[in-house]
Homo-oligomer: A and B are copies of this chain.
Amino acid sequence: MRGLAISKAACVGAGVIGGGWAARYAWNGIDVRIHDPDPEAERRCREVIANAERALCHLHGDMPARRGSVTFTDRLDEAVADAEIIQESVPEQVALKQRILAEIDAAAPAQALIGSSTSGLRPSELQAEMARPERFIVTHPFNPVYLLPLVELCGGAKSNQVALERGAAIYRHLGMRPLIVRREIDGFVADRLLEALWREALWLVHDEVATVEEVDDAVRFGAGLRWALMGSFLTYRIAGGEQGMRHFMAQFGPALSWPWTKLMDVPELTDEFIDRIAEQSDDQAAGRSIRELERERDDGLVALLEGLSREKLAAGETVAQHVAATRPAATADLDATAPLDLYRGYVTPAMVDYNDHLTESQYVEVFGRAATALMEALGADQDYRDAGGTFFTVESHQRYLQEIGLDEPYRIEVQVLGADDKRVHAFLRMVHAQSGDLLATAEQMYLHVDRHAGRATAAPDAMRARMDRVAGAHADLDWPEDAGRTMRPLR
């Protein structure tokens, strides 16, 4: 495919959108030349690109094998002279865009694709003054361009179908999701939806029903999460239950004519229109039952909430607090003469590999949680850690004995093998909580550390006494066969 082999792009206009495009191209190994008459453009654009690289590094876990170069030029013709694709992202004024696009058209190679980032102007109008308008299309991205996959593609009256297809191939190669807009309308599809929400949001603030923060909260703690996952139609199909979309329309359609929003013009829900929606909704569901869609929805929402929870952002903050508040505190009878039952849980979707089995690192994660529970039982709790004291795991030796699958329950038993003034030596067993099968073992050494001093220190007396108590209570247990084990060389 020709679209996949491009190596040179140009950005004309380098604000937030143009800079975002440049970052996406460079990350994908494509050299970018940039033109923007604003003397501040280069500084601002390089800031956008640096921010973008940080985020993309986080998303990919790595830098790309080769980053494309990013160069600036004062001359538009120089910027586009050998580009295979040109992104126009100048301010949203028809006459300005028409003039710039004509200049790009005149200076760019005949085969180059030219795309406008306009969020709503019609391509037929924009291509009016171009000599070769057939290779022009609208390529409307969403901020931040380097992270959000959507790009709307829309051709004008004189655009070539080949240009649309080539654009779609290039953007897929850049990690985007091209959406080809069927009919040329102002605002295309996405901005019509954005505007509708934004307009109603302004009314709510205008009428003093809510503040801007309350309006945002009403979205991000609720329906916004569903929108990120499924949009409106598929969400409502699920709400319709086993009878599907037609049922939902019958049940909730009439509410559309209730005087809720400020804007009352609604399409008439004729039988024919409802049929069309129901049929398109069937196509979208592609054979997935309501039960399957519900699970997909829930798995997706859990994934979103877990991600946000890790960052303590938006709904994730609420969830993180709730999970912390409801998790049972680690309590252990340090005088018990049996291994301590310190951590229990279920294998969740975040913990499994492509075969739906617990991954290697998640065995270690779970052992780590049991170790934390042991430390808490010894007195190294959150307050203690906040004050700078903690235990580090300095060494761990695991044996992986058996697989455990998604949704299955496990528990961790901890046997303390010994302790001195700053170390605890323990043997952990992960056991399937239903079958009782031994799944994995870990022999671990923990070292008491003063983070402020930056070195190992003796544990305080009270903690030391607890360490001795549990080590003493476990002294009569059999020494685990695997403790002190080494791997025998194969040659």
CA distance A334 to B306 in the complex (A): 40
B183 touches A208 (CB 8 A): yes
Task: Specify which chain B residues have a CB less than 8 angstroms from the CB of A143 in the assembled complex.
Answer: 238-239
- Binary interface encoding of chain A residues 304-315 relative to chain B, with 1 for a CB under 8 A from any of its CBs, else 0: 111110110111
Q: Which residue of B lies closest to A365 (CB)?
A: B361
Interface residues of A in 140-158 (CB under 8 A from B): 142-144, 147-150, 152
CA distance A143 to B232 in the complex (A): 12
Among A129-137, A198-206, A456-464, which stretch is in contact with chain B? A198-206
Q: List 24 A-B contacts (CB under 8 A).
A: A59-B323, A62-B345, A120-B255, A144-B301, A148-B226, A183-B208, A186-B258, A187-B260, A187-B261, A189-B209, A189-B210, A194-B232, A195-B260, A196-B261, A205-B276, A212-B281, A213-B284, A219-B232, A227-B227, A228-B314, A310-B350, A395-B398, A397-B397, A419-B491
Q: Which residue of B lies closest to A174 (CB)?
A: B322
B177 touches A189 (CB 8 A): no
Interface residues of A in 461-491 (CB under 8 A from B): 471, 475, 483-487, 489-491
Check A124 for interface membership: any CB of B closer than 8 A: no
A227 touches B217 (CB 8 A): no
B350 touches A361 (CB 8 A): no
- Binary interface encoding of chain A residues 329-365 relative to chain B, with 1 for a CB under 8 A from any of its CBs, else 0: 0000000000000001110111000000001111011
Interface residues of A in 78-111 (CB under 8 A from B): 92
Partner of A395, one of B65, B186, B400: B400
Partner of A308, one of B54, B267, B303: B303
A60 touches B323 (CB 8 A): yes
Known contacts being A209-B182, A218-B189, A280-B211, is A177 close to B310, with CB within 8 Å?
no
Task: Specify which chain B residues have a CB less than 8 angstroms from the CB of A218 in the assembled complex.
Answer: 150, 152, 179, 189-190, 193, 231
Check A250 for interface membership: any CB of B closer than 8 A: no
CA distance A387 to B419 in the complex (A): 48
Task: Specify which chain B residues have a CB less than 8 angstroms from the CB of A362 in the assembled complex.
Answer: 361
Q: A120-B255, A205-B280, A228-B228 are in contact. List 20 more A-B contacts (CB 8 A).
A: A16-B241, A51-B298, A55-B299, A60-B327, A142-B222, A148-B222, A150-B315, A174-B322, A175-B318, A175-B319, A186-B260, A190-B219, A194-B232, A195-B256, A197-B197, A206-B273, A211-B283, A215-B231, A215-B233, A425-B489
Q: Which residue of B lies closest to A285 (CB)?
A: B213
Check A287 for interface membership: any CB of B closer than 8 A: no
B490 touches A417 (CB 8 A): yes
CA distance A143 to B234 in the complex (A): 13
Q: Distance (Å) between the CB of A350 and the closest chain B CB?
A: 6
Q: Which residue of B lies closest to A252 (CB)?
A: B92
Q: Which residue of B lies closest to A386 (CB)?
A: B354
Task: Specify which chain B residues have a CB less than 8 angstroms from the CB of A244 in the assembled complex.
Answer: none
CA distance A155 to B206 in the complex (A): 21
Task: Specify which chain B residues have a CB less than 8 angstroms from the CB of A407 in the assembled complex.
Answer: 54, 57
Check A246 for interface membership: any CB of B closer than 8 A: no
Task: Specify which chain B residues have a CB less than 8 angstroms from the CB of A280 in the assembled complex.
Answer: 205, 211-213
B177 touches A147 (CB 8 A): no
Check A230 for interface membership: any CB of B closer than 8 A: yes
A267 touches B221 (CB 8 A): no
A190 touches B60 (CB 8 A): no
Task: Specify which chain B residues have a CB less than 8 angstroms from the CB of A490 in the assembled complex.
Answer: 417-420, 423-425, 471
CA distance A394 to B401 in the complex (A): 7
Check A316 for interface membership: any CB of B closer than 8 A: yes
B484 touches A217 (CB 8 A): no
CA distance A234 to B59 in the complex (A): 23
B200 touches A192 (CB 8 A): yes
A205 touches B277 (CB 8 A): yes
Interface residues of A in 257-291 (CB under 8 A from B): 258-267, 273, 276-277, 280-281, 283-284
B210 touches A181 (CB 8 A): yes
Task: Specify which chain B residues have a CB less than 8 angstroms from the CB of A307 in the assembled complex.
Answer: 303-308
CA distance A143 to B256 in the complex (A): 19
Check A452 for interface membership: any CB of B closer than 8 A: no
CA distance A149 to B225 in the complex (A): 10
Check A297 for interface membership: any CB of B closer than 8 A: yes
